[in-house]
Amino acid sequence: MNPAKKRILIVGGVAGGATCAARARRLCERCEIVVFEKGPYVSFANCGLPYFVGDVIESEANLLVANPDTFKHRFNIDVHTETEVTRIDRQSKSVEVLDLKTGIRRREPYDALVLATGAQPVRPDLPGIDLPGIFMLRTIPDSRKIKAAAAQARRALILGGGFIGLEMAENLVRLGLEVTLLELADQVLPPLDPEMAGYAADRLRANGVHLCLGEGAAGFERLPDNTLGAHTSRGTMLNTDLVIVAIGVRPDTALARAAGLELGALGGIRVDESMRTDDPSIWAVGDVVEVKNLITREWQLVPLAGPANRQGRVAATAIIHQLNCSADPIYPLAFEGVLGTAVCEVFGLTVACTGPSETLLRRAGQGYEKVYLHPGHHASYFPGAKPIHIKLLFAKTDGRILGAQAVGEAGVARRIDVIATAMMQGARVFDLEELELCYAPQFGAAKDPVNLVGMVAGNHLRGDLPLADWGELENTKALLVDVRSEAEYTGGHFPNAQNFPLDTLRDRLQDLPQDREIWLMCGVGQRAYYAYRLLQQYGLRVKVLSGGMQTYQAWLQTGDRGSTRSDVGEYSNARPI
């Protein structure tokens, strides 16, 4: 150790800590950088762990992003794995370190300290939770244990219907196991709204996953045949060979708490825009911190790799600027918050979202409007077009984009990425209309789904497309008019809806009431819009149900609409016609 050099200590690797270390070295060759990692690996792809369990990623080595030798030889960064930082002494600016291999303790001084301690899986306090055969997935050793247990198992139970739970369900099914997924909420994928999450639930069921929604675990026991019995909140017992607990994570703030650093109401470390804590010599990055939502401005916990990497970069820049140890001028960066942009795939279905859901917007008191769209992912005349189910949330006042959710088999992530990029620039729905995006028939359409969703939302805000509320559908006194063809109507329709096919509508204007509001519906929304433009010019009071019967089908998934799927039949015509 050279006492003349500034010393940067980083507790934890993976995304935030490893990025911070590498960025700090790129900015400064003069400082000493040391990383302490409690586990055996300093930088690994934990997002790939479910796919290692499922043999999609065959080699464990493919999960390793970098090792201590890489950090030393390429960046001159000292990495100590299987080394735990057990205490921070803020007054002396040092940490106490325990070598887990030798049991030797030592003190390490710092000029700047970065906490990248991440998050720990939530381990519910339930009877039998520590029985053999019950696992959590966070590290490579965890995945090894699950992989070995799955090889001897016939049945698996997954607790939690979030991203990890769904990815584990798919991978265990791939291994030939019978999978049951237990989720306390009434839907899978809590970041999405229920009607959008329903598409994923359908896909899970279609691939043999038994879903138990609105049902949690109450305890576990070892049965005489050496299998596990899982007691549920509804009083039933499920027999299984292994259990994966995937009900979420919480920030690992034990070190920060003991040091007296400020924590937020959600349990994460509070930081400023440079990722600095309330101690001017300590920064924190990654899953351990609370961050501001860019839309609601509320504090959130967002355990995602993308934000963690950006936070590591911001923290490193702030540290080198503060220590003034770079040969070049350093201009500070700022981490202003997150949208929570995320994506996962389940049995070939891509699910993506950005920005808050309706639930979060309501909680924040944010006024909003919403539209649904079901366009093809590329031009309909080119073979292989797949529908994308899109929901866009936007401000009533000025059309600012607040959030988006999309589900489909192709082209989903690209559209959400475009919308997320627009949101980062403070864009409005009118800006989506004008975006110039790539077009060739195998990639998109002349009017891309992003353009279309902006057009629908923009038309609504301009008063060119009044929208009816799906939530009021069963209690409305409006006349419900289905403008699909007679054959489509006969195949299934909303109760009490009357059929006025679009192609015959001009000849039947006298059959429509002048003194009663009319709500229009079709397959996916476009024909209803055409009908609206026609009828409003004849003085009728008309609104459109956004997204048509395809959206109504999704609403039935939420389970509290008073109807069943058989009321409307099965619809697959999610085409923009």
Q: Which of 25, 12, 10 is nearest to 74 (CA)?
A: 25
Token pair 């016939």 in the structure block, residue: 154
**64-66 vs 78-81, strand pairing mode:** unpaired
Alpha-carbon distance of 25 to 15, in angstroms, equals 16
Among 184, 213, 247, the domain-final residue is 247
Tell me phi and psi for residue 480, to 5 degrees.
-90, 125
Name the region of 210 (left: φ>0; alpha: ψ -120 to 50; beta: rest).
beta
CA diameter of the chain? 91
Q: Which of 470, 465, 439 is nearest to 529 (CA)?
A: 465
Catalytic residue ranges: 47
Contacts of 15 (CB under 8 A, 6+ apart): 286, 305, 308, 309, 312
Give, as one character, the DSSP assignment of residue 338.
Answer: B
Alpha-carbon distance of 229 to 240, in angstroms, equals 6
Q: What is the CATH number of the domain that holds 38?
A: 3.50.50.60
Q: Which of 385, 373, 380, 290 is nearest to 337 (CA)?
A: 290
Per-residue pLDDT tens over the stretch 498-527: 999 999 999 999 999 999 999 999 999 999
Alpha-carbon distance of 323 to 330, in angstroms, equals 10
Angle at 42 between CA 39 and CA 44, to 5 degrees: 100
Domain match, 436 and 383 both: yes
Edge-to-edge strand ranges of the sheet holding 242-245: 134-136, 242-245, 155-159, 178-183, 210-213
Alpha-carbon distance of 38 to 16, in angstroms, equals 15
Q: Decide if 574 is inside a domain.
A: no
pTM of the model: 0.91
Alpha-carbon distance of 28 to 181, in angstroms, equals 49
* AA letter at 5: K
Number of domains in the chain: 4
3-state secondary structure of 493: coil
Q: Decide if 455 is inside a domain.
A: yes
Q: Decide if 301 is inside a domain.
A: yes
Q: Decide if 413 is inside a domain.
A: yes
Name the region of 536 (left: φ>0; alpha: ψ -120 to 50; beta: rest).
alpha
Model pLDDT, residue 564: 31
Domain match, 412 and 316 both: no
Alpha-carbon distance of 183 to 236, in angstroms, equals 14
Give, as one character, the DSSP assignment of residue 210.
Answer: E
Q: Decide if 113 is inside a domain.
A: yes
Alpha-carbon distance of 476 to 299, in angstroms, equals 38
Among 419, 441, 462, the domain-final residue is 462
Model pLDDT, residue 558: 67
Distances (CA, A) of 200 to 48, 191, 376: 20, 13, 18
Q: Decide if 174 is inside a domain.
A: yes
Model pLDDT, residue 339: 97
Domain match, 234 and 315 both: no
Domain match, 108 and 181 both: no
Print the domain residue range for 480: 467-567
Domain match, 385 and 437 both: yes
Model pLDDT, residue 2: 54
Contact (Cβ atoms closer than 8 angstroms) between residue 148 and residue 135: no
- Per-residue pLDDT of the chain (577 residues), as tens digits, is 555 789 999 999 888 999 999 999 999 999 999 999 998 888 788 889 999 999 899 888 888 887 888 899 999 999 999 999 999 999 999 999 999 999 999 999 999 999 999 999 999 999 999 999 999 998 899 999 999 999 999 999 999 999 999 999 999 999 999 999 999 999 999 999 999 999 999 999 999 999 999 999 999 999 999 999 999 999 999 999 999 999 999 999 999 999 999 999 999 999 999 999 999 999 999 999 999 999 999 999 999 999 999 999 999 999 999 999 888 888 889 999 999 999 999 999 999 999 999 999 999 999 999 999 999 999 988 999 999 999 999 999 999 999 999 999 999 999 999 999 999 999 999 999 999 999 999 999 999 999 999 999 999 999 999 999 988 888 899 999 999 999 999 998 888 899 999 999 999 999 999 999 999 999 999 999 999 999 999 999 999 999 999 998 888 766 543 333 333 333 222 222 2
Domain match, 297 and 213 both: no
Model pLDDT, residue 569: 33
Alpha helices, H only, 79-174: 140-151, 163-174
Domain match, 92 and 195 both: no
Q: Decide if 348 is inside a domain.
A: yes
**32-37 vs 78-81, strand pairing mode:** parallel
Q: Decide if 355 is inside a domain.
A: yes
Beta bridge partners of 541: none
Domain match, 66 and 163 both: no
Domain match, 458 and 351 both: yes
Sign, CA dihedral 269-275-277-281, equals: positive
Give, as one character, the DSSP assignment of residue 180.
Answer: E
Domain match, 218 and 266 both: no
Alpha-carbon distance of 239 to 171, in angstroms, equals 20
Among 247, 280, 312, the domain-final residue is 247
Alpha-carbon distance of 216 to 126, in angstroms, equals 11
Per-residue pLDDT tens over the stretch 366-423: 999 999 999 999 998 899 999 999 999 999 999 999 999 999 999 999 999 999 999 9
Domain match, 433 and 471 both: no
Domain match, 351 and 458 both: yes
Q: For the chain, how far is it from start to end, CA to CA, in angstroms?
A: 70
